[in-house]
Structure formats: C-alpha cells, structure tokens
C-alpha cells in the first residue's frame, strides 16, 4: 500500500537532485530534526501513563513556568542534533544562551533555532501541541557561532517547519519550494508525504484571536475584529467564525489547511513588550511557511521576514494568513491607529484619561 508513497528521506533526495553541488548536510539535519519530533511524539502520546505531565517546578528564560515535557522535548532536540556535524550551534526557547556543542562533536555549517514544545499549557488538557524549527546558514562554518550569528532576518532561512502532535503526528516544512506535509506512519516509523504543495485558499471565513485582550487592542485590530463580528449585515457583508486554540502550531496548521487569519497583535497589556511571540523560533518559521503557501505574515506594520532581530528571544506581534486579510489589517494600521477608549471614565475627555501607547 505504501509502495507508491514518498517518504521524507525520498522527498529530500529528490529536492537535492535539483542542486547537484549540494553536500546533503541540510537533508541530514532535517532528518535529525524529524527524529527528535518522532521521539517527542511518542512521549506526548503516552500522556499520563508516561509520567511526563505536569509542571517541572522551574521557569525558562521567558519567565514562564516549564512543563515536564518542555524540558524533555528540549533535551531530545539537543541530543538528536548535536552529534551529526550538521550544526554549528543551536538556540532554544527553553535556554537563555545559545547551546554550545560538546567538544567531541564537529561543527557544521547550519544554525538550528527551535521551540521544542509549543503550546505546552495545553498538554494537561490533551489539546494538540507541537515543535517549531528554523534553519539558518552559519556565517562561520566549522566554528562555534557568536550570539550575533543567530540574529538574521527571516529572509535568510533555508528551511522552516513544525511538527504537530495531534490525532496523527505531522511534519510540515519548506525548503523554499513550497510547503509539504508528511504524516507519521507509526508502524514504519516513517514520515510519509501526505499533503504535497499546500496552498492557502484565496478567501477567508475564519479569524483567530484571544478576545479576552480586547480592551488592550489597538484601534486597527478592534476595527478589523468588529467588522468580522458584524457578519452579513456589517461592512464586510460576510459571516466569519472565530477560533482560538492558544497553540501556535495548531493555529498555523488550521490556517494552512483551510485558510483564515491569525492575530496575536501588539497591545497595551504590557507596554514593555511590543509583541508576544518570539521572532527567531516562532514568528519567522511560521511566516516563511505561510508565504511559501501563498499567504502573508506581518507585524501589522510590515513584513515579518524583513525584521532584523536584536535579541535571541525578541518578541514581536504576528498576524498571518490569507493575503487579502493581512493586507486589510495592515491598511487599517496605516489609515488610523490612534487609540480610542470605550469607557466614559477613561475616554480622551474622561476623568481618568489614559495615556496612549
């Protein structure tokens, strides 16, 4: 039954044949990443029976409480990718500084940045979680990278992808030739090409946003959401459904599968943070996947992939999905984004006038 199916390894070999001078190191690295994702999928599937649920009683560099599976997934990513000679170094959401490879392993020509377990707050309620990764070229192949070597804009990515651990495990990736999805065949332990050449629909009928933050939104975002909620009788003359999973991988997978737009916009909830999602290992890989599938990804004010990082764990706003919707949201930001207030107590002429940010 699988004789006419393409495995991940076969797919990568076919891609490499278009580049006769390629060394094969990128293929090797992607297969090592896939191995880590298989190992994580197995642990996630065990759930409570594997003894890996619950908090790890420590926090990561982001100040977030780590789950046991966060720690385990990070260790699996490091151990699967440190030894092969493909990477010069790695950066993880769960680690403050870049990971320095053990001296016994050769340094390669790529940099791997990753979120080992996205959506870990959903683990205990059995909602889909995933891993996100991005591959960059090392400026100095064969040597330990400096911190600034990782601070490359998303346009420099040579590969990006995610694994989603749900009813089935899937690996979705791009090497710059479109977006392709591979489903894990559990008996063989192989990722099989199941969703070739994924493309976003040209129109959207869904949007995803955390509506509990409405009071902190900028006017452009509030305007967009209000128009969607107004449905057929509103200015869009169209009904929209609203979704929110609180797992970036799950949100991305849904939009790649059936379209829509995702918003985690800039807001005033914590003025010290211009955004919530991490540029290097969340926003950039997702943005590359979405663009390769025919969509768009923006901060609300510009293309995500053109943002030049200034910190390993830099956070930015992220809006992505069907191009028409993303462009509309960008236009709303340009046209009029002065902050307004609903409450008479806090309005511009109110007793407790708030400061716009």
218 is in an annotated binding site: no
- Minimal CA–CA distance to 158: which of 181, 141, 135, 178? 135
Could you tell me the CA-to-CA distances from 195 to 23, 74, 181 in Å, in that order? Answer: 27, 27, 5
For residue range 164-204, what is the model confidence (pLDDT) as tens digits? 999 999 999 999 999 999 999 999 999 999 999 999 999 99
226 is in an annotated binding site: no
For residue range 221-243, what is the model confidence (pLDDT) as tens digits? 999 999 999 999 999 999 999 99
148 is in an annotated binding site: no
CA-CA distance, 118 to 115, in Å (whole number)?
6
117 is in an annotated binding site: yes
Helical spans, DSSP H, in 268-312: 284-292
For residue range 122-161, what is the model confidence (pLDDT) as tens digits? 777 888 999 999 999 999 999 999 999 999 999 999 999 9
210 is in an annotated binding site: yes
Burial classification of residue 339, based on how many CB atoms lie within 10 Å of its CB (0-12 exposed, 13-18 middle, 19 or more buried): middle
Burial classification of residue 47, based on how many CB atoms lie within 10 Å of its CB (0-12 exposed, 13-18 middle, 19 or more buried): middle
User: Looking at residues 315-343, what average pLDDT do you find?
Assistant: 86
Handedness of CA 187, 192, 194, 117 (dihedral sign): positive
pLDDT tier, 21 (very low <50, low <70, confident <90, very high otherwise): confident
115 is in an annotated binding site: yes
- Minimal CA–CA distance to 161: which of 305, 23, 33, 70? 33
| pLDDT, greater one: 352 or 228 | 228
DSSP one-letter code for 268: S
268 is in an annotated binding site: no
131 is in an annotated binding site: no
CA-CA distance, 39 to 189, in Å (whole number)?
10
Which single residue is written with the structure tokens 């090392």? 138
Buried b (16+ CB within 10 A) or exposed e, 89-124: bbbbbbbeebbebeeeeebbbbbbbbbbbbbbebbe
């Amino acid at each position: 039954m699988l004789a006419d199916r393409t495995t991940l390894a076969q797919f990568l070999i076919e891609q490499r044949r278009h580049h006769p001078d390629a060394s094969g190191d990128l293929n090797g690295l992607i297969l090592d990443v896939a191995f880590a994702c298989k190992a994580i999928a197995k642990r996630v599937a065990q759930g409570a029976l594997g003894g890996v649920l619950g908090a790890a009683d420590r926090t990561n560099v982001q100040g977030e409480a780590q789950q046991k599976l966060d720690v385990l997934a990070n260790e699996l990513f490091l151990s699967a990718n440190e030894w092969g000679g493909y990477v010069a170094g790695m950066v993880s959401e769960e680690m403050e500084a870049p990971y320095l490879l053990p001296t016994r392993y050769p340094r390669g020509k790529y940099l791997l940045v990753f979120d080992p377990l996205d959506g870990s707050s959903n683990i205990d309620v059995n909602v889909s979680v995933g891993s996100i990764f991005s591959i960059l070229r090392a400026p100095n192949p064969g040597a330990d990278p400096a911190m600034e070597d990782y601070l490359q804009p998303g346009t420099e990515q040579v590969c990006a992808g995610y694994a989603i651990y749900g009813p089935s495990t899937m690996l979705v990736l791009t090497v710059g030739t479109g977006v392709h999805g591979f489903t894990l065949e559990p008996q063989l332990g192989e990722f099989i090409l199941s969703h070739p050449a994924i493309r976003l629909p040209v129109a959207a009928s869904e949007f995803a946003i955390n509506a509990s933050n409405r009071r902190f939104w900028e006017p452009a975002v509030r305007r967009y959401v209000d128009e969607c909620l107004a449905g057929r009788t509103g200015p869009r003359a169209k009904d929209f459904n609203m979704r929110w999973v609180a797992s970036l991988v799950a949100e991305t997978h849904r939009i790649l599968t059936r379209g829509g737009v995702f918003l985690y916009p800039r807001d005033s909830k914590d003025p010290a943070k211009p955004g919530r999602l991490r540029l290097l290992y969340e926003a950039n890989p997702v943005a590359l996947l979405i663009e390769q599938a025919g969509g768009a990804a923006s901060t609300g004010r510009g293309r995500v992939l053109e943002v030049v990082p200034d910190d390993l764990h830099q956070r930015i706003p992220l809006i992505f999905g069907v191009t028409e919707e993303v462009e509309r949201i960008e236009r709303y930001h340009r046209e009029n984004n002065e902050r307004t207030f609903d409450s008479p107590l806090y309005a511009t002429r109110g007793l407790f006038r708030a400061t716009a940010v």
